[in-house]
A and B are shown apart, each in its own frame.
Chain A
Amino acid sequence: MRINTRLKLAVSVPVFMSLFVGLALFFSYQAMEKDWKNGSLVRRIRSSVTELNTFVQSYIHYHEERPKRQFLVEYDSMTQLIAGIRLRNPEQQRLLDKIGLNSESMKDLFLRLVSNYEPSDPAGNAELLAKAEERLEGQLLIRSRDMDADASRLRSMVDDDIRRAQTRTFTLILFVVLFTTIPLTIVLIRTMKSITTSLSTLRKGTEVIGSGNLGHRIGMTTPDELGDLSDAVDHMTEQLQAVTVSKDELQQEVEERKRAEEEIKKLNDDLKHHVTQLEEANKELEAFSYSVSHDLRSPLRSIDGFSQALLEDYGGKLDGEGRDYLQRVRAGSQRMAQLIDDLLNLSRVARSEMSRVPVDLSKIAKDIANGLRKSDQERNVEFVISGGLTAQGDERLLRAAMENLFSNAWKFTSIHPRGRIEFGMARRDGQPVYFIKDDGVGFDMTYVGKLFGPFQRLHSPGDFPGTGIGLATVQRIIHRHGGRIWIEGAVEKGATVYFTL
């Protein structure tokens, strides 16, 4: 049984018992009150019967007026008393009725005695009167004794009723007390014992768990609240144990991550170091390249200048083949100079400081288009340039990049009688993507990966002049702006260069 139920029982049973005993006492008291009242009335009747006997005796002895009158007064009083009583016990009521009838007979006998003593005919037979008187007196005595016995018996019966009512009340209370107090005490003792034992088990269990033994379980199976508490503690311990295991794992993971971070940091540091080294090497390489390029220009100019001087001064002494060779020397040196210029440009693009400002790309495009038209006014090329395209960037570098791209478009549309070059902007994933599109010779997308490599060319210099440095330079400029660049195209269907900034 649950403790709550036991406690409810422990409270409700005494309440019920008190109520029951209270009600029993109330009704018992009411019954006893009535019995006491009846007892009091019966005692008065008994007293009246005694009084009537006394008056009869007194009258028999002295034949005086006083006992006669008192007899009649007492008789009336007793008659009224008897008429006012109703007894529950039919036997008692029968006795009471008998007393009433006997009292009537007694009164009748008494009046006949009086009448016999005070005859209307004084000249009557004195002997007969005396015999009648004797007979009446004898009957009066018998009646009075009978009444007295009945009144005495009635009183005993009523007194017995009172005693029985008291005994009944006492027995009832005793019964209720015995049959409720004893089981209640047993229930309370068992409850207390059960609670104490359970609490002790719980205390010991929690002490073991508190000492760190999370594998310990209290395991109480009592079907009450303390059993529930034991289950809850065991469940809590189980959870705690699981959490503790997770914590250990987490700690291990944190440590692993720390180690990983340290490794990453170390790698990063190494990388930075390598980058620095690389940058330094790059700078050295660029400086070397620049220096080499710069230094190469002077001998090249000498070769070209002296070759030109040889042609001009000694051209007549050479045959056609000789002059052709010289021409080729010049062309090679000039081409090499161009290459050196391009390499220097590429190097400058990588080395130069950037200054980010708003740049009007549309305007730059138009300037470049105008320049190209002027360079070859015979070509029929349509420029379509979207207006108002601006971007944040280094204007000088962006102009260089766009010049390269327009120059390529101009170049690769040259073999077509008519050309179309478009500069515009589209949006991809919310980002502005600029493009320069032409309808020139295009290229095979198979080789698209080679396009941005320095000195990489998909066409022969005979078809389209160039050093193969242009797109590499453009890519470097775009990368320095943090953007991306890619090309889409197809053979004879033109090409489109896309870039972001």
Chain B
Amino acid sequence: MNKTMTVLLIAVVLSVNIGCNRKGEHGSTKQQETVIIAVSPQPVSAPLYVAFEKGFFEREGLRVTLQSYTSGKDALNAVIGGKAHLGTAAETPVMIAGLKGEKIYVIATLAESDKYMKIIARKDRGISIPADLKGKKIGVSPGTNGEFYLHAYLTVNHLAKKDVQAVDVLPKDMVDALVTGKVDAVSTWVPHTTTLQHKLGSNALIIDDHGIYVMTWNVAATQDFVKSHPAQIENFLRAVLRANKFIKERPDEARAITAKHIGMDMPMLSETWDLYGFNTVLNQSLILSLEDQARWMIKKEAGSARRTPNFVDFVYADGLKTVQPEAVRISGK
């Protein structure tokens, strides 16, 4: 019996040692590589902030630097301009880049929400129902999903673009524009929508037609970078998936990290936190959404000879397929 026990003990000790060694392979022994990520300070960027703060990137061998941009559009432009390796953006800037023929890849969708975009109007400007928008000045950031949301809202409510007065407003100026009364309404996203609700109080009319638009929050990179750094893409995605798990398991801590990075109060952040899901995927709906918006954009540019590109070619699914195969649901990928 004593020999048997010894054999079993040795087996257990070896198992533990092997387990430790395996853990070590994924641990701190990886060679660190620098990755610059252009991030728009929005709640949907939470997985990147969490991965950054909790050291998930480092654990995957990535020495990450976060660069902050006021919108996804700017962040994507930073990527295209070579200022960052990866950038966060909604599908609208991606679509525009695609139409422009920029060689970019979406490597993952970090979050989806059909309640992310809102039109906030001032009641004191005679706006109490959606139809009252007619003839009003509506602040919007061109080239962002704020513009697309406004278009969608007007369209399904049988309003033409000319029925309202669209005013270009930078994302960072959106809150001030409405609060100061430069515009009668704005079409924008969280956290501006939440801030405006709080600042305008009862004077705010919240127009929330969530059926007409689903926002996707994506991570994109240049195709050259992706092709030359497939391992880094996989490591990045592993870190993001670990961050998603952390967000679900320890939401309070995740919210605190996010609030710190985007400069938003915790209570305000908590109001919309559950809308985002934080599920890293690549869905066919992204392709449809990009195509849908591309068609809109082409029509908007009257006389444009551009055609809707095959957005499947703008998606790099190999990385996500490697680290989480079931997350990819795009035919042909």
Contacts and interface: CB of A to CB of B under 8 A. Distances in A.
A128 B160 contact: yes
How would you classify the secondary structure of chain A's contact residues: helix, strand, loop or mixed? Answer: helix
B112 interface: yes
A204 interface: no
Contacts of A116: 156
Interface in A122-138: 124-125, 128-129, 131-132, 134-136, 138
A186 B212 CA distance: 70
B284 A105 contact: no
B285 interface: yes
A139 interface: yes
Interface string B266-282: 00000000000101010
Q: Name which of A131, A157, A160 has the most chain B CB atoms within 10 A of its CB.
A: A131
Given A1-B1, A132-B156, A183-B8, A142 B285 contact: yes
Nearest to A9: B1
Given A105-B114, A142-B288, A153-B329, A132 B155 contact: yes
Contacts of A249: none
Interface residues of B, number: 31
Contacts of B283: 145-146, 149
A134 B213 CA distance: 13
A143 B289 CA distance: 9
A135 B211 CA distance: 11
Given A124-B158, A128-B160, A183-B8, A139 B329 contact: no
A142 B112 CA distance: 12
Contacts, number: 83
Contact of A149 (B4, B155, B159, B285): B285
B1 A187 contact: yes
How would you classify the secondary structure of chain B's contact residues: helix, strand, loop or mixed? Answer: helix
B326 interface: yes
B285 A145 contact: yes
Interface string A5-48: 00000000000000000000000000000000000000000000
Nearest to A124: B158
Interface residues of A, number: 39
Contacts of B213: 139
A45 to B, nearest CB: 15
B152 interface: yes
Q: Name which of B8, B155, B327 has the most chain A CB atoms within 10 A of its CB.
A: B155
A108 interface: yes
Interface stretch (A90-98, A221-229, A318-326, A374-382): A90-98
Given A124-B158, A132-B157, 13 more contacts: A116-B156, A132-B158, A134-B155, A135-B156, A141-B288, A142-B214, A142-B288, A146-B285, A148-B329, A149-B284, A152-B329, A153-B329, A183-B4
Interface of B: 1, 4, 8, 112, 114, 152, 155-160, 210-214, 248, 277, 279, 281, 283-285, 288-289, 292, 295, 326-327, 329
9 contacts: A128-B158, A132-B155, A132-B157, A139-B212, A139-B213, A146-B285, A153-B326, A153-B329, A190-B1
Interface of A: 1, 90-91, 94-95, 98, 105, 108-109, 112, 116, 124-125, 128-129, 131-132, 134-136, 138-139, 141-143, 145-146, 148-149, 152-153, 156-157, 160, 179, 183, 186-187, 190
